[in-house]
Structure 1
Amino acid sequence: MMKAVSASLLLGLLGCGPARQSTNTLAAPGTFIITAEQIAKSGATTAWQVLKQHAPMLTLREDRNGQPQSMGRRGRSSFLLDEAPMILLDGVRVPDFHALDAIDAQSILSILIYDGVEGTTYYGTGAVSGVIVITSKSGQSPS
C-alpha cells in the first residue's frame, strides 16, 4: 500500500496525475477499473467471466468444456515470453490464472488492471505483461 501511495505522489509531482475514464472514476493512465456495479450488471458468476466480458486488453481462451485454457494480453510481443499478467487477490499473488474460475464474482469489490508499463512501475519487472489487482468485498482471500 505504501508503494502505491509513494508512486501516486511521485506521479502527481511529475505532472502525470490521474485521468478521468469513461466510468467516471479517477484512474492513473495505463489502468482500467471494473467496479462492483459493473460486475453485478454483467451477470458473470466468476472472476474469469468478469475479465472475459470487461477486459478488452486481455485474451482469455477456454477449452471445449468452458474451462480456462490460456490468458495473455492482446498484441503478443514474443512467442518465447510468458505473456500472462501477474494476478493479486487482496494483495496476495495468485500463482495460477485457473484460480480466477473459482472466485465468486459477487465477492469482488473491484478489479484494477495495470498495463505493462504501469505494472512494472508498481510491481517490478515480474509484471511486464501487466497486473490484475482483485479486491474482494471482505478484503480477505475467499476460501
Structure 2
Amino acid sequence: MNNAVLSVRGLGKTFESGGERLDILRGLDLRVEEGERAVIIGESGSGKSTLLHLIAGLDAPTAGAIEAGGLRIDALREKELASYRARYVALIFQFHYLLQDFSALENVFLPAYMAGVPKKTALERARSLLADV
C-alpha cells in the first residue's frame, strides 16, 4: 500500500551547545496512511514537539527524510517551506499565538487569506471551522 500521507525515515535531530551533543530523536520511522490518524504521546522532553516542528518544516532534521503530501520536506527551500506550511500544515501550539486585537474569526481567517485564498472563500472556511469547534 503506497497511500502514505506522511513518511518519516531514519529521522534524527541533534542539538549541540558548549561542545555537548544532545540527541533528541534518533532513527525515528513513522508512516501514516491516507485515512489514518496518529497520536504522538510521551513524557515531557521526549521529542514530541521537536518531531512536530520537523514535520511542519519549522526546523530541519540532522538525519533522515520527511515526506508529506508527496513533498520531501527536509529538502525544501524556505520559500517552498512557507508555501507547504500555508497549504498543508495546521499546528495548535501549546502556547497560543493569537492576535489580541483580532476576533476569533479574524485569527482563523487570516492565514488562509495571506496564503492567497480569496477573501470570501477564506471567510466561509473560517466560519465553518469555528462552527466545528
- Return the TM-score normalized by structure 2: 0.28
Q: Which has the higher contact order (CA 8 A, sep 6+)?
A: 1
